[in-house]
Chains A and B, each alone.
Chain A
C-alpha cells in the first residue's frame, strides 16, 4: 500500500457512510474490527473505562439493519449525515507491526427532520491488509466535547 491508498481509504470510508451504502461500509471492517467512541480525554481502555460506543461487527450489523427497519420509529423521518475532513495524517506505515495508522480531523454533521447537529474531533484509523485490500481493525472517534450531553447520534461519525 502506498500513502495515497491509505488516504483514499479514509475518504472512501466516510463516503460510504455519507451515501448510506451500509453493506459496503461494513465490508470495510476486519472480522475482529472495532468502532470506538471514548468518553474520556486520551482514554486508553475501552472495556473498563466508559465509552459512548465500542462495537464489533455483530453490533454494527445490528445498527445498520435497524436503520432500515419498518418499525424503527426514530428513523421516521430518516437521518442523513455529512463528513468534512482534513487530509489524513499518516502516523505509521506499519513497518513494525503491519498496522497502518492515520489520524484525521473532521467536522461531522447529522441531520434529521428540522434538526441539525455538528460534532468536531479526530478520527483515528488502524488498518491492516487482508488479501490485498485494506480493512479496519480500529476506528476511534475522539470528539472535542466527548463529555457534553448530546441528544441522539444515530448514524456513524
Chain B
C-alpha cells in the first residue's frame, strides 16, 4: 500500500527541523519518490565539459535512476539525451565515455541518431511506410533534455520541464564553483582522468550529511588521522620536511573549537558549506611558482582573495559536494534505498603547476577511495546507521544541535561551525522538492 505517493502531507511530516523520521533513509517508497520527484525537480550534475572536447565525444550518467548521455554535436553544442533507444529501449551508449563518430547507432536493430539525438536512419525503412510512424514519439529520436546549464564547464540538468531556473536553484552557492575554477590562472578546470569509485551500503543522504558534520572527524577519524598524527610525532626527526601526506591528514584531528570558529554558511534550496573563516585546507604548503602565476593572471588583490577563500565542503543540493581548495567533486549517486555509488573526481587547474594536481589526487585516494582509511572510518558509521535505524525503539534521527525555534528555512546565514543547521537546511529543501507539483499530479490523475 502506498503510504507516501500522492500524500505530500505525510512526506512533509517526516521533516521536523530538529528531527527527521527514519523513513527518509530506510523506506523503499520514499526512495522511489526521490527518484520520481526530488531528482527530476533539482539540478543534477552529470559531468564536465572538458570530457566532451571533440565532436562525437560522449559521456553517460544518471539522474536519480534514469540513464542519460551528453554528447558534443557538430554545431559545437552539448546535448543531453535520454540514454534509451526509442525503438525498444536499449541503452545507446554503454561506456562511461567515448567518441561515437558522426552518429550513434543502436546495437540491436541499427536505428541511428545524430549526436543531437535526432533520428538519422532506420534499416528497411519502407516497413514503416503508411504505418503512422511519423506521429510516434520514436520518430523524433533520442529524447532530448531541454533544461541544461553549463556553468564554468560543469554540466547540470533538470529533468522536470517546469521548476526553478538554474540561477534560482543555486543562487550564491555558485561562488564555490567560481572559486574552484578561479584557482586556475586561466580560470578553467579540466577532467583528465577517471574518478575513484567507492560502493556504499547506505542511503545516499547519510553521505551528503556527513560532508558538513564537523563533530565527527575528531571522533570517527581518531583511528586514521589520529594514528597518522601519532606516528608522525614519533618519526618526524627522521624527516627534513613535513610530507604532503601528513599535511593532508593532520587537520582532521582539529579540536571542536576550531570547527566552531570556522563557521557554516547556509543558502536557500539546501546548499551550504563548512569552513567560512578557516578550514582544514588552510595550512597547506605553498606550491612553487603558483602564487606568482596567480598574481600575474588576476592582480595581487584578486589573487589573494581567490586563494584566501579556503572553504571546506560545499553541498550542492541534492547530491554533490565540491572542495574548492583541492579541486575535488564528489558525486553521491543513489542506486537503492541502502546503496550508493560515490564517484570522486579531481579537477586539474589549467595552467597551474602539476603539484596542485598531485595534491588533489593524493587527497582523493587518502579520503575517498575504497582503500582509504578515512573512508573506512566513515563507511563503518553509515553502515551501522543503516542497520541501527531499523530499530523501532526510536523512529527519529536527532538534528537539534544549535537549533532555534522558528529557524528560517530559505535564507543565507553564517552560523557556528558545529551546528547541524546545514543538515536541516538540506531536509527543508528535500521536503520542498519532494512534494513540488505532487498535488498537481494527484489532481490531474483524479
A residues sitting closer than 8 Å to B (CB atoms) are 37, 39-40, 47-54, 58-59, 61-63, 65-66, 69, 71-74, 147-154
Contacts and interface: CB of A to CB of B under 8 A. Distances in A.
Which are the 5 A-B pairs with shortest beta-carbon distances? A149-B197, A150-B370, A74-B380, A72-B223, A74-B376
B409 interface: no
B231 A61 contact: yes
B377 interface: yes
A148 B375 CA distance: 16
Given A50-B365, A58-B231, A71-B222, 10 more contacts: A39-B196, A48-B358, A49-B193, A58-B235, A65-B227, A66-B227, A72-B223, A74-B223, A151-B199, A151-B379
Nearest to A37: B371
B357 A48 contact: yes
Contact of A66 (B194, B223, B341, B364): B223
B193 A40 contact: yes
B32 to A, nearest CB: 22
Contact of B232 (A39, A48, A58, A148): A58
Interface in B325-378: 341-343, 346, 354, 357-358, 361, 364-365, 369-371, 373, 375-377
Contacts of B230: 65
Interface residues of B, number: 44
Interface of B: 193-201, 220, 222-224, 226-228, 230-232, 235, 243, 245-246, 249, 341-343, 346, 354, 357-358, 361, 364-365, 369-371, 373, 375-377, 379-381
A58 B380 contact: no
B223 A58 contact: no
Contacts of A53: 365, 369, 371
B339 to A, nearest CB: 10
A151 B245 CA distance: 23
Given A66-B223, A72-B223, A74-B380, A153 B231 contact: no
Contact of A54 (B354, B365, B376): B365
Given A48-B358, A59-B245, A149-B341, A66 B373 contact: yes
B383 to A, nearest CB: 9
Contacts of A71: 222-223, 226
25 contacts: A39-B194, A47-B358, A48-B358, A49-B193, A49-B361, A50-B194, A50-B361, A51-B365, A52-B196, A52-B370, A53-B365, A58-B231, A58-B243, A58-B245, A62-B227, A62-B228, A65-B230, A65-B231, A72-B223, A73-B377, A148-B197, A150-B197, A150-B370, A152-B370, A152-B376
A110 B376 CA distance: 14
A74 B365 contact: no
A73 B370 CA distance: 16
A2 to B, nearest CB: 34
Contacts of A39: 193-194, 196
Given A62-B227, A147-B197, A153 B371 contact: yes
A155 B377 CA distance: 14
Nearest to B360: A50
Contact of A150 (B199, B226, B235, B380): B199
Contacts of A50: 193-196, 346, 361, 364-365
A52 B223 CA distance: 20
B242 to A, nearest CB: 11
Given A50-B364, A69-B223, A73-B377, A151 B370 contact: yes
A65 B232 CA distance: 12
Contacts of B346: 50
A48 B371 contact: no
A148 B376 CA distance: 17
Contacts of B199: 149-151
Nearest to B357: A48
A47 B235 CA distance: 23
Contacts of B364: 50
B61 to A, nearest CB: 15
A154 B376 contact: yes
Nearest to B220: A73
Contacts of B370: 52, 149-153
Contacts of A66: 223-224, 227, 373
A47 B356 CA distance: 11
A111 to B, nearest CB: 15
A66 B372 CA distance: 12
Contacts of B343: 149
Contact of B227 (A48, A69, A73, A153): A69
A89 B24 CA distance: 53
A99 to B, nearest CB: 24
A35 to B, nearest CB: 10
A111 B235 CA distance: 32
Contacts of A65: 227, 230-231
Contacts of B379: 74, 151-152
Contacts of B365: 50-54
A7 to B, nearest CB: 27
A124 B232 CA distance: 29
A37 B184 CA distance: 29
A31 B179 CA distance: 40
B380 A73 contact: yes
B344 to A, nearest CB: 9
A43 B175 CA distance: 35
A75 B354 CA distance: 36
